[in-house]
Amino acid sequence: MKFLDIRDADFDQQFAAILGRGEEAGREVEQVVLEIIAAVRKQGDAAVLEYTNRFDRMDAASVTSLQVTDEEIDYAFARAKDEEIAALKLAVERVARFHEKQKQETWLSTEETDIMLGQMVTPLQRVGIYVPGGKASYPSSVIMNAVPAKVAGVPEVIMVAPTPGGEINHHVLIAARLSGVDRIFRIGGAQAVAALAYGTDAIPRVDKVTGPGNIYVATAKKLVFGQVGIDMIAGPSEILVINDGSGTPAHIAADLLSQAEHDELASSILITTDRGFGEQVAGEVEKQLKKLSRREIARESWETYGAVIVAGSLDEAIAFSNRIAPEHLELAVGDPFAILPKIRNAGAIFMGHFTPEAAGDYLAGPNHTLPTGGTARFFSPLSVDDFIKKSSIVYFSETGLNRLGRDIVRIAELEGLEAHGKSVSIRLK
């Protein structure tokens, strides 16, 4: 863990290692992923099966056999406790209610009597959602990806998830049914992304792939973009906490560790105007680390990519936050609403001392699929908008074309496109 002062001359140099985490590995991974994509395009199900059996230690006979059955989902419900199912139902309901407010409708404008303009909103026909597996199970990722798709009106949602050893977490299956997922396949990694992007005999081609994954998944999504839509290129998890010396150090330490336990590349940063408070938080992190079941992962993340930064003022802390554009931003200050208007770049903003980031991860309502690695400067959280497309509608009556046609022809002539102009002038009186 780094203890830094933002005013130090070498601060940027010291912080660069955190900002650049994973970049070297990304370049090494790309060639491997290109080979996997090429194999899936050429060999289809055979390649998907070979990679799945090899990477996930399975012995499946066909890709079709990797599809989860209704009976398996029924059994998942039978295994779960009533209160677990109730909690997942509550999450689905709250996430659906939030995303319903994002829906857009087709509209037409009749401001001009002889011209009609508008926009047609259409849901995507089929989408693929990637749900991470391996180090942990993520029913919340199912909900956050499938629910907005269904709210948008997507008819078919295909889910893929890696299942080392062949077993899929029963809470993931429950979340999938509650969220409206239509088909589930036990495949993961770059081969799953390639199968969704190009289609195979067993796995249908989709219009868009969403959801987080490891570096192989993120690289595959980047490489198939254009062939298929994607939500964003998600990197390792990150949290930045802005603090003014108020609050409870143990609470903030717990929030920092909530990201550190994700994986070794996760980044957890506190920037505070009170050095003594920062030292207390760092001490609390050490105490809490010892009690975590995932302490090895969390400790490596904290010691390599964690930091406590001392700032001279809240404005200095806010400027730093806007520069790095964090995935999760906690405003652990006395009056978070006073500084909210100054926040420009963040995936999700958690306000005050009683809004831990984990509330947003599970059932607050907003989506937890968020831009990482500074991309919150130009990306937004996953939303209903990711599962629709818009078409422009243009209608000219004869009088409308006669009214504007000569100006259309003039602009076509300015560009030297004679046939463009002719297609209009030939209709003019």
- If you write DSSP's letter for every residue of 135-202 in order, what string do you get? SS--HHHHHHHHHHHHHHT-SEEEEE---GGG---HHHHHHHHHHT--EEE---HHHHHHHHHH--SS
Q: How far apart are CA 326 and CA 220, in angstroms?
A: 23
- Answer yes or no: 167 catalytic: no
Which of 264, 284, 327, 357 is the catalytic position? 327
Q: Is 74 annotated as a binding residue?
A: no
Q: For the stretch 266-275, what's the b/e string if a residue is b when 16 or more beta carbons lie within 10 angstroms of its beta carbon? A: bbbbbbbbee
Residue spans of alpha helices (H) in 159-311: 170-179, 189-198, 215-224, 249-260, 275-289, 295-305
Which of 99, 170, 171, 328 is the catalytic position? 328
pLDDT number for residue 167: 85
Strands 115-123 vs 388-396: parallel, antiparallel or unpaired? antiparallel
Please state the φ and ψ torsions of residue 388, each to the nearest 5 degrees.
Answer: -130, 165
Q: Which of 237, 239, 249, 236 is nearest to 275 (CA)?
A: 249
Q: How far apart are CA 46 and CA 282, in angstroms?
A: 50
Q: Is 420 annotated as a binding residue?
A: yes
Q: How far apart are CA 361 and CA 365, in angstroms?
A: 9
Q: Is 288 annotated as a binding residue?
A: no
pLDDT number for residue 22: 63
Strands 107-112 vs 115-123: parallel, antiparallel or unpaired? antiparallel
pLDDT number for residue 19: 83
Task: Report domain 25-104+123-230's class.
Answer: alpha beta
The one-letter amino acid at 422: K
**Domain locations in the chain as residue ranges:** 2-22+236-364, 25-104+123-230, 397-426
Q: Is 328 annotated as a binding residue?
A: yes
- Answer yes or no: 327 catalytic: yes
Q: Is 130 annotated as a binding residue?
A: yes
The pTM of this model reads 0.93
pLDDT number for residue 25: 61
pLDDT number for residue 135: 56
pLDDT number for residue 21: 75
The one-letter amino acid at 143: I
Q: Is 169 annotated as a binding residue?
A: no
Q: Is 259 annotated as a binding residue?
A: yes
Q: Is 170 annotated as a binding residue?
A: no
Give the dihedral sign, CA 18/23/28/34: positive
With tokens 């009533």, the residue in question is 82
Fold (topology level) of 2-22+236-364: Rossmann fold (3.40.50)
Per-residue pLDDT of the chain (429 residues; tens, 9 = 90+): 789 999 988 898 888 888 877 665 667 899 999 999 999 999 999 999 999 999 999 999 999 999 999 999 999 999 999 999 999 999 999 999 999 999 999 999 999 999 999 999 999 999 999 999 865 689 999 999 999 999 999 999 999 999 988 889 999 999 999 999 999 999 999 999 999 999 999 999 999 999 998 889 999 999 999 999 999 988 889 999 999 999 999 999 999 999 999 889 999 999 999 999 999 999 999 999 999 999 999 999 999 999 999 999 999 999 999 999 999 999 999 999 999 999 999 999 999 999 999 999 999 999 999 999 999 999 999 999 999 999 999 999 999 999 999 999 999 999 999 999 999 999 997
Strands 126-130 vs 388-396: parallel, antiparallel or unpaired? unpaired
Token pair recorded at residue 293: 């079941």
pLDDT number for residue 10: 87
Same fold, 2-22+236-364 and 25-104+123-230: yes
Q: Is 59 annotated as a binding residue?
A: no
The secondary structure of residue 352, as a DSSP letter, is S
